[in-house]
Structures are given as C-alpha cells and as structure tokens.
Amino acid sequence: MAPYISRDRASIFVLLASLVLPLILLDYSSSVLFASAKFPKSKDADLLEFALNLEYLEAEFFLFGALGHGLDVAAPNLTGGGPPPIGAKKVELDSLTNDVILQFAFQEVGHLRAIKSKVRGFPRPLLDLSSKSFAKLMDNAFGKPLVPPFDPYANSLNFIIASYVIPYVGLTGYVGANRLLQSATSRELVAGLLGVESGQDAVLRELLYERKEQLVPPYGVAVEEFTNRISILRSKLGNRGLKDEGIVVPTGLGAEGKVRGNILAGDVNSLAYSRTPEEILRIVYGSGDEHVRGGFYPKGASGHIAQSYLK
C-alpha cells in the first residue's frame, strides 16, 4: 500500500517543485549554451581556419629572422606535419630589431595555438619565404626589376621593409571577418588577434617612419617610397579600391586631411580598412586572382575557403 501523503504536504511539494524546477532547467540550459559557445558554427570555423594561413606565414618568417629556425623547433606540435618553409633564413639583426622581431615571433606562436584551440585547423601549408619570392614582390611594386634583387635577409632595414608586407594584410582580414562571425566566442578571439596584429603593424610602421627619408642601399630609394610602392601594389592586387597607405601620404589622405605622416593607416575617419578572404588571397598569391596560387603559397593556401577557389 502506498504511503499516505496529506493534501497540505502535497501542496507544499508542488509549490517547491514549481520554484526549483525552473532553476534546474535554467542551469542546464545555461550549461548547454556555455558549452556550445566553445565550438564556433561552421561559417565561423571556416573564417578562423582561413586566418591560420597568415599566422603560419608570420610565425615562420619572424622565427627564422630572429632565431634561424621555425615552428619545427619552436612549437612542432603546431605544424600538423606540414612541410617546412622554403628559403627562410636568419638575419644579422641589430639588437633592437632582433628584440622586436623575436617578440613578434612568439606572439604568432600564441596566435596559432589560440586558433587551433577553437577549430580543428590544418597542417602548415607550404610557404615560399625565399629571397626570390620577396624580390619578385618588390619588382612588381616598382614595376621593374630591382638591381640587385631585393633580399629581405640582407640586413635589419631590408627585413623590416619585408615585414611591413605581412601583418597589415592580416589585420585588414580580421576587420573584415569580424562582421561575418556569428559566435561571441569567435568575435572575442578575432578581436584579440586583431589587437596584437595591429600593434605589430604599428611598431613596424614607426620603425620605418623614423627612417622615412633614409635611402635603401643600393637602390637610392627612400624608405617611405618603398612603403608607398608596397601599399599601392597591395591595393592593386586586392582589386577593391584604396585599402592601403604608406607611412607618408599626400595631406588629403592623412588624418582629417591635415597631416602627411601616416604611422597608422586608416580611411577618411581613421578607421582600419577591411578586406575579404578573396582580397587577401589575391594579395598573398601575388596574382591578383584568388584562383591563381603563387607568391608565398606555391601550392595555395589551406582550409575550406581558400581551397574552394582552387577547385
């Protein structure tokens, strides 16, 4: 025979259940939401994975420049078994530049780890960081072959100029990706990456701005002209209008149309420019076409977005 429960006691049980059950369900639903926030939706995952391409490029270039070795020594667990870069070298950097580049290098290692903690990722793509690759880019920027060919590993100044090519492309990509992301977790990660990439670009631009009038031997061309040529080329390859500026610009393009110095590049309101993955591929391939691999990625970039253009 079932135990007897008085009507009063039953009423109390019903009242307690009505109060406690919603709290249990709320706690459960909150836990589910929190857990799902750790795993970005597919579109987010594709965009975050795409960013790995540039992070690998930066990590290897900076690590080799400062230390003479790359991820295979510094963080082999992050390579995914991908091939080592082509032609990367150590540079005899001055003490300040070596200090700065070494900091950048380990920051990029952290970026790779952070992205791979959120998405599956892919093995390091084949990267061409040879002097020949950079020389071709500089020839395109100047519209003629430089004699002798530009060598990013020749000295500190050349390496800083070559470094100017890279972080800015990544930061414009992060600006562009942010509005497409659906997950707050993904947006938080991209904001963190954007903050440091922007800082790297600002430091490089400041180092070059201090030497803006210095002639780059043996070409007899000022540092500011190198940055202007590189920025013009990136805008041209991106094929979406002006989204790049050197360290010295006509007054009309400076902040509020009042200055020529341009340590930080920005639009009419001094906001960072935005680029799509397609624009970035056009630039890093050096082809102006997201379907035509080359440049720093002789076999093409990796991930669903990049590979979709190579099919």
DSSP state of 150: P
Distance CA 30, CA 33 (A): 5
Higher per-residue pLDDT: 12 or 160:
160
Q: What is the pLDDT of residues 102-157, one digit of tens each?
A: 999 999 999 999 999 999 999 999 999 999 999 999 999 999 999 999 999 999 99
In 10 A of CB 96, how many CB atoms? 10
Residues 6+ apart with CB under 8 A from 304: 46, 49
Q: What is the pLDDT of residues 208-223, one digit of tens each?
A: 999 999 999 999 999 9
Reported as a pLDDT band with limits 50, 70 and 90, residue 311 is confident
Q: What is the pLDDT of residues 224-258, one digit of tens each?
A: 999 999 999 999 999 999 999 999 999 989 999 99
- Give me the sign of the Cα torsion angle 85, 138, 107, 55: negative
- Give me the sign of the Cα torsion angle 263, 264, 268, 274: positive
The answer to whether the peptide bond before residue 76 is cis (omega within 30 degrees of 0) is: no
Distance CA 178, CA 182 (A): 9
Q: Tell me what pLDDT residue 42 has.
A: 72
| Residue 99 reports pLDDT greater than 70 | yes
User: DSSP assignment of 210-243, as one string?
Assistant: TTTT-EETTTTEEHHHHHHHHHHHHHHHHTSS--
Tally of CA atoms within 13 A in the half-sphere of 202 that contains its CB: 9
- What spatial distance separates the first Cα and last Cα of the chain, rounded to whole Å? 73
| Residue 15 reports pLDDT greater than 60 | no
What tokens does 15 get? 């009242």
| Residue 68 φ/ψ region, left for φ over 0, alpha for ψ in the -120 to 50 degree band, beta for the rest | left
**How many H-runs (helices) and E-runs (strands) does the chain carry?**
11, 2
Burial of 142 (0-12, 13-18, 19+ CB in 10 A): middle
What residues does 294 pair with on adjacent strands? 297
What tokens does 29 get? 């639903």
Q: Tell me what pLDDT residue 240 has.
A: 92
**What does pTM read for this prediction?**
0.86
If we measure between CA atoms, which residue out of 121, 118, 125, 115 comes closest to residue 71?
125
Q: What is the pLDDT of residues 255-307, one digit of tens each?
A: 999 999 999 999 999 999 999 999 999 999 999 999 999 999 999 999 999 99
Higher per-residue pLDDT: 75 or 11:
75
| 304 sits in which H/E element | helix 304-308
In 10 A of CB 222, how many CB atoms? 16
| Residue 91 reports pLDDT greater than 60 | yes
